[in-house]
Structure 1
Amino acid sequence: MRPRARDLGLRPGQFAPGPLNAITDVAGVLVGQETRIAGEGTRTGVTAVRPHSGNLFAERVPAGLAVINGFGKLAGATQLQELGELESPIVLVNTLAVGRAVEAVVDWTLARNPEARSVNAVVGETNDGRLNDIRARGITSQDVLLALDGATDGPVAEGSVGAGTGTVAFGWKGGIGTSSRLLPAALGGFTVGALVQSNYGGALLMDGVPVGRMLGRFYLREHADKGDADGSVMVVIATDAPLSDRNLARLALRAMAGLARTGAAFSDGSGDYAIAFSTHPGVRRPAAGGMVADWPNERMSPLFVAAAEAVEEAVLNSLLRATTVESRDPATGRKRRVEAIDIEAVRAALRRPDAG
């Protein structure tokens, strides 16, 4: 088992993580994943996040969206922004699987809601074509349905799994990562959890340590190479704080601070998206007991800090837990391989006097 960030002594930020150090530390949140490895070329998968185990179409949760660079195909984004709510789970796939995933989410939702005539399926993506035969479109509707139906509230598998099976980050194997933060009672006592699909680049920082430069792999190293910068990242943030969609959009934006702390380049070809939602029963739509008051603006800052910290650590976990993946390019027949980051090299870098 490859280590997580905390196994290496990394402690990004100031707040403590939850018991699982995962998005599922937010009560009610479920995560399901299906990994598709077939033949020599298919290296992809599905990751699904369900805000609660009930009927989300009937009990919608407030949500907000933040976009830094919109180079992506995020289905359902405009209605999410317009109404400030989720009526479907969030599903992550690869770029050319968005259409099939939307159909599967619609089927899944219609089967549970015979009166529904419209479904806003929220499906995000990153392009895993560097390792995956993306044109073969290996993800099926059944894969999406399995991820949705198999979602659980326990530990979340990380690294080269689900929608992170074929992704690449900072020149190394990327993947799925997750983390959480607990606020002390004096600051509300809420939990903030993050899940990322890392497939982007820059100059990797690990809790402020320039590991990418130390290991000689970073964006613009030769002043011409863009290979380790372009890509995309999807971030999902969950909290049990009673937030409005407006403050959830503000919370989602702080995810970008977490990405920046990892050394993200936010390049022209990178799609950088974050969706935040609240699981608090009082802000569900419709809520059984009526909507509770929105958490006040002047008390949002600790939540902002927690979101940035959780996203930063989730990215580090996605890299550290990822394993080396190989495939073969169907067009050229050439072998493709992206190495997982060398754990011993990371340990050595963190021990260096110039690591700070």
Structure 2
Amino acid sequence: MKIFTDRKKGPLNKITDVEGIRVGHSTINDGKIKTGVTCIMPHGGDIFKEKLIGASYIINGYGKSLGLIQLDELGTLESPIFMTNTMSIGEVLNSSMKWMIDKYKDVGNKSGAPNIIVTECNDGVINDMRGLHVKEKNVLEAIENISEDFEEGSVGAGTGMISFNLKSGIGSSSRIIEIKGKNYTLGSLVLSNFGKIKDLKIGNREIGRQMYLKSKEKKEGKDKGSIIIIIATDIPLSARQLKRVAKRSAIGLGNVGSFLGHGSGDIAIAFSTANKIKDNTFEDIRILREDLLDEVFKACAESVEESIINSLIYSKSEISKDGKRIFSLEDNLKNLGIDF
């Protein structure tokens, strides 16, 4: 299944097409335990001592993510970004804090406490979330596994996720943007866990409605899921500009059929690798001229849209903790005899 084939992408079509970014997973898949941790390392240097400019945007605030208050107040990102299930955010924060303490001897003393970003979605339909199965070893494994070419689909934090009543998880994509004759990259990564099947759209085709009408079991219910959206670019942008970019991720959500439901925690985080903030009295930073942002906005919307679709395309059918089969997009289309 190929989509958006006429648009210019990075060589991997992943967030790691932005130079320096790496992504790692720790996957737990054992019977009713289907969950994990995903780590996004924002650059290849020392993220705590060489902070990046960043911002978040709360599209719909039904979520429990950690670290967003300081991110928006100071406009700087100083830690990896972690993803996990809702009830494991405390363990991930605690374990990543231990990792930071081991790595930086001044943490909690001369340099204060780091602001670690931990995001979440609820995987309780597939995973025994109440068992609190994510442990310190999984956080460390996700950090150790960071690489440029990472898996998508039912891996890491995406192991137990469902979108549009189909199996989903981690999805990513990228876009190349030309500004004044020079190429830049914008990439996105999503932890996708939202939506109802009859609302799903792919490339403006109402494929979800087709599946819904052909299915013997009409799945209704409320949209109780969430999505975490990470947007990265090597374009020099300010924190205010990055928040503006993050807002445009809602267009990508709408294009696949989301209406930003009451029970959906839709959180976007955006950062730029172009400027590194060090311990200087004054920082010299470059930012893009405001009226050149339109192509960045468009790239963000397109990339987020494709990342969500990729989270479905790369996921495999799974059995829920109650023994119910959650079909992948591919398997559901085959079962219903729908060509795509």
Given that 2:125 and 2:320 are in contact with CA atoms closer than 8 Å, whether structure 1 keeps it comes out as: no
Q: Counterparts in 2 of 1:176-191, with a 5 A limit?
A: 176-186=170-180, 188-191=182-185
Instruction: Name which of 182, 191, 210 aligns with 1:197.
Output: 191
**Percent pairwise identity:** 36
1:90 aligns with 2:81: yes
Provide the alpha-carbon RMSD of the alignment.
2.2
For the 8 Å contact 1:175–1:322, the answer to whether it is kept is yes
Take 1:217 and 1:194, find their aligned partners in 2: how far apart are those partners? 32
Amino acid at match of 1:232: S
Name 1:265's counterpart in structure 2.
259
Query: In the TM superposition, what are the counterparts of 1:31-70 in structure 2 within 5 Å?
Result: 31-38=23-30, 40-70=31-61
Counterpart in the other structure of 1:27:
19
Question: How far apart are 1:348 and its partner, in Å?
Answer: 6.8
Report what 2:242 is aligned to: 248
Structure 1 alignment gaps of length 5 or more: 1-7, 330-334, 352-356
Query: What is the deviation of 1:101?
Result: 0.4
Runs of 4+ in 1 over 6 A off after TM superposition: none
Q: Residue deviations 1:53-94, cap 9 Å, x none?
A: 221110110101011111111101111111111111100000
Q: Secondary structure at the match of 1:278?
A: strand
Taking the aligned partners of 1:70 and 1:41, their CA distance within structure 2 comes to 29
Give per-residue Cα distances to partners, 1:274-324, cap 9 Å, x unaligned: 1001111xx211289952321111111101110111110011110011001
Give SS of 1:158's match: coil
| Structure 2 length-normalised TM | 0.91
CA distance in structure 2 between the aligned counterparts of 1:116 and 1:324, rounded to whole angstroms: 43
Equivalent residue runs for 1:280-299 within 5 Å: 280=274, 283-286=275-278, 290-299=283-292
Report if the CA contact (8 A) 1:93-1:124 is conserved: yes
Match of residue 340, structure 1, among 328, 331, 334: 328
Change over 3 Å in CA distance of 1:92–1:319 after alignment to 2? same
**How far, CA to CA, are the matches of 1:300 and 1:17 in structure 2?**
18
CA distance in 1, matches of 2:231, 2:181: 18
- Aligned residue among 298, 302, 317 for 1:305: 298
Q: Distance in 1 between matches of 2:29 and 2:60?
A: 30
Kindly tell me the number of residue pairs found equivalent between the two proteins. Answer: 330
SS where residue 127 of structure 2 aligns?
coil
Deviation readout 1:114-133 (Å, 9 max, x if unpaired): 11221111000000000000
Within 5 Å, give how 1:87-236 maps onto structure 2: 87-117=78-108, 118-153=113-148, 155-186=149-180, 188-202=182-196, 203-216=199-212, 225-227=220-222, 229-236=223-230
Question: Is contact 2:320-2:326 (8 Å) kept?
Answer: no
Summarize deviations over 1:150-192 as a string: whole Å, max 9, x none: 2112x22111111110000001001100000001253642100
What is the DSSP-based 3-state SS (H/G/I as helix, E as strand, rest coil) of the residue aligned with 1:183?
strand
**1:298–1:188 Cα change, 3 Å:** farther
Aligned partners of 1:320 and 1:343 also within 8 Å: no
Q: CA deviation at 1:343?
A: 5.4
Output the amino acid matched with 2:28: R
* Distance (whole Å) between structure 2 residues aligned to residue 217 and residue 279 of structure 1: 45
Unaligned stretches of 5+ residues in structure 2:
none
Distance 1:30 1:237 in 2: 13
CA–CA distance in structure 2, aligned partners of residues 261 and 187 of structure 1: 30
More deviation in 319-328 or 67-76?
Answer: 319-328
CA–CA separation in structure 1 for the residues paired with 2:284 and 2:127: 45
Change (3 A) 1:145 1:84: same
Is 1:319 matched with 2:315?
no
Answering whether residue 76 of structure 2 is matched by residue 81 of structure 1, we say no
Q: Which amino acid aligns with 1:183?
A: I
| Letter matched to residue 317 of structure 2 | T
The residue aligned with 1:16 is 8
Aligned partners of 1:207, 1:253: CA distance in 2, in Å? 21
The question of whether the paired residues in 2 share the 8 Å contact of 1:209 and 1:350 is answered with no
Give, in whole Å, the separation in 1 of the partners of 2:254 and 2:72.
23
Distance, in Å, in 1 between the alignment partners of 2:7 and 2:60 is: 28
